[in-house]
Structure 1
Amino acid sequence: MSSNDTQGLTIEQLGIRIANTVERWMPSPFLFAILLTYIVFFAALLLGELGIIEQAEGGTAGPLGLIEHWFDGFWDFLAFAMQMTVILMTGFALAYHPKANAILVRLAHIPSTPPQAVVLVAVFSMAIAWIHWGFSLILGAIFAREMGKVAHKKGIDVHYPLLAVSGYMGLGLTWHWGLSGSGPLLLTDSGSVGDGTVFDMLPNDGIPITETIAHGYGITLTILSIIFASLVLYAITPSGKQARDITEYIPESELFSQEADGGEEDGREESKAKTPAERIDNSLILGGIIGITGFTYVFYMLITDGLGAWDLNVVNFGFLMAGLLIWTNPSAYREKFGEAATAAAGIILLFPFFAGIQGIMSGSGLATYIAEVLIDASTAETFPVIAWLVAAITNAFIPSGGGQWLVLGPPLMEAAEGLGVEFGHAAMAYAVGDAHTNLVNPFWAIPLLAITRIKAREMFGYAIVMLIALTPFLAVMLYLLPYEALALF
């Protein structure tokens, strides 16, 4: 056995052991939300009894007061939960259009070696995630599967579990730095940051994406991270006997049966419906006109108001209209949204609990206390690294970037204010920590596991390798990369 084979086997065995342990002991994300509620409740109760933190003015002291804060906060972020749901569902609907699949098949024929196949899937996933995380979540998984199929046909010995990791890299690295990143986009509306002292610090019109997503700092960090991650993936790609073909996970007869049947239907045959009601439901004209109208208006807002118009509502409206424009058939588009509803169930259930946790933290004074601890532990130079680490650790409990923002946003922004760190700089550092540790959190990988037919323990070994490799790189980038010097606007 060669040294390369030994290295690949060691990485794989270590990864499988870690992933098996996680799979056996890690509770569901919903249970984590419940556990975190208890942790925050008792932490606030203890610190309050010790006099370290103070209840909000006019609030009830003791356990009853904390329960009141929990209840008051529980439904504060219904609009935000709906925004996150729509992001996921519009991405799902776009990714499953047959034309999108046809493009992926053509791209899958480009690579001629295993490392090229792995890197192409990863670069595609990371680039698309910067545009729309919901789109990348589904499309990255589909591309990994299609690449595995094409590689099997061409006789390329590509390791299918690593292809799955590549398809997940968008959610594991770049999504929160991009156009649908929940934390930076919530800053565009100062009323969405959450209750607490940070609310009064932000300008009335919030922080535009020119100071976060479209800032040279975020763009530079994204490009450099994609390059570095691609180099690591290229280096660790096994080949030969170490590579496991897609047919070890999905039967060959099942893989290629869709091609024999003509592929997935796009629902346009429903336009032949006989009744007037069915003709209206499947009207290509009605769907196309409203899609063009909505999509055109998004361009109009961006032309007249510039990038300052880009917020979560514009993101969702634009992709909702784009989906209708691509599908054209309203009935087929509605059916795809029905299929996406299952994937959005976690957001709908978990976000009220995250909002309740944020209510306890703000009302009890715990958020302010955390901000003070961060300030004491940081300098203006080290704060981005500290914010990254705090977000990374919290991601183990709150697997949603938006949900994390409800809890961490106010204290992080308050700490940034105290240290003289730009709000946009702090938000992007937080976003890096949240996205990076998705590589060890199976919550968002559930759709990918279903599409690729990979088990968590079979892919998360390599995901952990990527996490470890990226950690020193991101730490150095966050410490050394200048924010103000990279401003574009």
Structure 2
Amino acid sequence: MSIEATSNVPVQDVDETSAGVLARMAHSFTAWAERWYPDAFVFVIFAVLVVAAGNLATGASPVAIAKSFGNGFWTLIPFTMQMAMVVITGYVLAVSPPATKLIDKLALVPTSAAGAVAWVSFVSMMASYINYALSLVLGGLLIRALARRTELRMDYRAAGAAAYLGLGATWALGLSSSAAMLQANPASLPKTISDITGLIPLSETIFKWNSIAMAVIITIVSVAIAYFSAPKGRHARTAEDMGCDPHDAPVSQTKASRPGEWPEYTTILPIVIGVIALGWVVTEFMAKAPLSVIGNLNTYNFILLMVGLVLHRNIHSFTKAVSAAVPSTTGILLQFPFYGSVAALMTAVPGSDGVTLAHHVADFFVSIANVDTFPVVIGAYSAVLGFFVPSGGGKWIVEAPYVMQAAKDLGAHMGWAVSTYNAAEALPNLINPFWMLPLLGVLGLKARDIVGFCFTQFLFHVPMVLFLLWILAPHA
């Protein structure tokens, strides 16, 4: 997929005559963020330093701090690999030949420019309930297919923002929720969290009726905003206007050119492996409850990877897709070990009073919240912190000990505490470019091109999500 760069597109490309006050505010905010906002990895380093400073403030010794930093660094290796595979499997599925054909058919559904943008938002959010990486790539490829329908004159920027709604609105409310998955997986759940919460099944988090109702409402509102905020007519900027080529590059090689390449291109090997994998999956579902099978990250990634292998039909296509997906895992591979250190610093370093920093933070939450206001307090906290520490759920490792301790002390519903965190964690993604990068790579756009439309969604989502967290909160 070769797309021309858009560095020649001026920052002032927001149509102020039609965008309105909110879009102009978003454009100003984005211009500031692009100049002053540092790389996301910097925030992880800041988190280590801030937590270490907090340890010192509670009277912890420098030796204990250094020891916990090193001891905690590699504690999240299994979870890091699991989340990296979530990204890879999503990409592999989205670029498989059957998925490509499906995308071309999906692109025939809309009949108007605004309808196309709304359709992209709907498809992206539906995909995000299964796999957040799938929503990014599928949404991006759908936009490219729609852009090839030049008669629509779809706004390429608004469509890009709509494809990002899977990450900015709903991803953590589905099977990609690392917090919910972690809490349901005894093999991945750190002792620092399990001692507080125990196992929390998916039926008490993402599959609880309250969480499902919240996801449905957020989806409907997001699609409506995408439709009514999309520029139309002469105000729309198409892919061509943005200097982007939505056409796919031709595949250079589709069959073996020498005998030694035959195993790479035969369909026999993927089918054989797929049959063996299917046999194992069947035994799992026969031996265990369906939710416990789906809730296991290893099983989830295994199924998606095997399906991807079969859909690509040959090893050559499959390995090319995996290679293309690997760069998208850089942030996870680099940041999660530091999250492990931060978690250790917060939960394993006692101060002069013998109490850890996580315990102090939990006491603070208990002091400012009650069982009724706890969801709103935690939701606002998660959203604010998520802007400074973007992650695919990795922050839960750091925050779960004191968030869940506070929920336990207040008598709040433990599963809803996880869902609260999930819903609020998506909010900062709407104005933070970190997770936009895979999508922008597919579209050939810059963050500044779509963040104004994302900010419009953000202004509606913040009060809506916080209200839903309060009104739908179940009793413990």
- Return the TM-score normalized by structure 1: 0.88
For 1:264 and 1:466, how far apart are their aligned partners in 2? 37
How many percent of aligned residue pairs carry the same amino acid?
Answer: 29
Q: What are the Cα deviations for residues 22-48 of structure 1, in whole angstroms up to 9, with x where unaligned?
A: 1111110111111111111112211x1
For 1:109, the equivalent position in structure 2 comes to 108
* Amino acid in structure 2 at the alignment position of 1:370: V
For 2:34, the equivalent position in structure 1 comes to 23
Give the deviation of 1:135 after TM superposition. 1.0
- Between 30-39 and 476-485, the greater mean CA deviation after superposition: 476-485
2:347 paired with 1:362: yes
Match of 1:70, SS? helix
2:195 paired with 1:200: yes
Give the deviation of 1:9 after TM superposition. 4.2
Give the deviation of 1:180 after TM superposition. 2.0
Change (3 A) 1:84 1:351: same
RMSD: 2.0
For 2:82 and 2:445, how far apart are their aligned partners in 1? 29
* Amino acid in structure 2 at the alignment position of 1:174: T
For 1:106 and 1:45, how far apart are their aligned partners in 2? 59
2:48 paired with 1:37: yes
For 2:423, the equivalent position in structure 1 comes to 432
Give the deviation of 1:484 after TM superposition. 6.0
2:393 paired with 1:402: yes
2:245 paired with 1:214: no
2:325 paired with 1:340: yes
Give the deviation of 1:15 after TM superposition. 1.7
For 1:97, the equivalent position in structure 2 comes to 96
Contact 2:185–2:297 under 8 Å retained in 1: no
Q: What are the Cα deviations for residues 170-205 of structure 1, in whole angstroms up to 9, with x where unaligned?
A: 011111111121110000124534343x422334xx
Residue segments in structure 1 that go unaligned for 5+ positions in a row = 50-60
For 1:184, the equivalent position in structure 2 comes to 180
Contact 2:339–2:397 under 8 Å retained in 1: yes
Q: What are the Cα deviations for residues 310-345 of structure 1, in whole angstroms up to 9, with x where unaligned?
A: 221111111011111211312321221112111111
For 2:275 and 2:177, how far apart are their aligned partners in 1? 25
Q: What are the Cα deviations for residues 334-383 of structure 1, in whole angstroms up to 9, with x where unaligned?
A: 22111211111121111111111111111121112111111111111211
For 2:24 and 2:144, how far apart are their aligned partners in 1? 23
For 1:469, the equivalent position in structure 2 comes to 460
Give the deviation of 1:436 after TM superposition. 1.8
For 1:165, the equivalent position in structure 2 comes to 161
* Amino acid in structure 2 at the alignment position of 1:129: S
For 1:349, the equivalent position in structure 2 comes to 334
* Amino acid in structure 2 at the alignment position of 1:468: L
Change (3 A) 1:88 1:390: same
Give the deviation of 1:273 after TM superposition. 4.8
Give the deviation of 1:425 after TM superposition. 0.7
Residue segments in structure 2 that go unaligned for 5+ positions in a row = 1-14, 350-355
2:472 paired with 1:481: yes
For 2:326 and 2:451, how far apart are their aligned partners in 1? 26
The residue correspondences of 1:66-105 to structure 2 (distance < 5 A) are 66-105=65-104
For 1:56, the equivalent position in structure 2 comes to none
2:285 paired with 1:302: yes
For 2:246 and 2:468, how far apart are their aligned partners in 1? 42
Give the deviation of 1:264 after TM superposition. 4.5
Contact 2:141–2:442 under 8 Å retained in 1: yes
For 2:266, the equivalent position in structure 1 comes to 283
- Return the TM-score normalized by structure 2: 0.90
Match of 2:400, SS? helix
Contact 2:416–2:473 under 8 Å retained in 1: no
Give the deviation of 1:113 after TM superposition. 1.7
Q: What are the Cα deviations for residues 60-79 of structure 1, in whole angstroms up to 9, with x where unaligned?
A: x4112111111111000001
* Amino acid in structure 1 at the alignment position of 2:276: T
Match of 1:111, SS? coil
For 1:62, the equivalent position in structure 2 comes to 61
The total of aligned residue pairs comes to: 454
Match of 2:379 among 388, 392, 406: 388
For 1:202 and 1:192, how far apart are their aligned partners in 2? 14
Give the deviation of 1:443 after TM superposition. 0.8
Contact 2:210–2:472 under 8 Å retained in 1: yes
Match of 1:117, SS? helix
* Amino acid in structure 1 at the alignment position of 2:327: T
For 2:4, the equivalent position in structure 1 comes to none
For 1:357 and 1:185, how far apart are their aligned partners in 2? 21
* Amino acid in structure 2 at the alignment position of 1:214: F
For 1:401 and 1:453, how far apart are their aligned partners in 2? 23
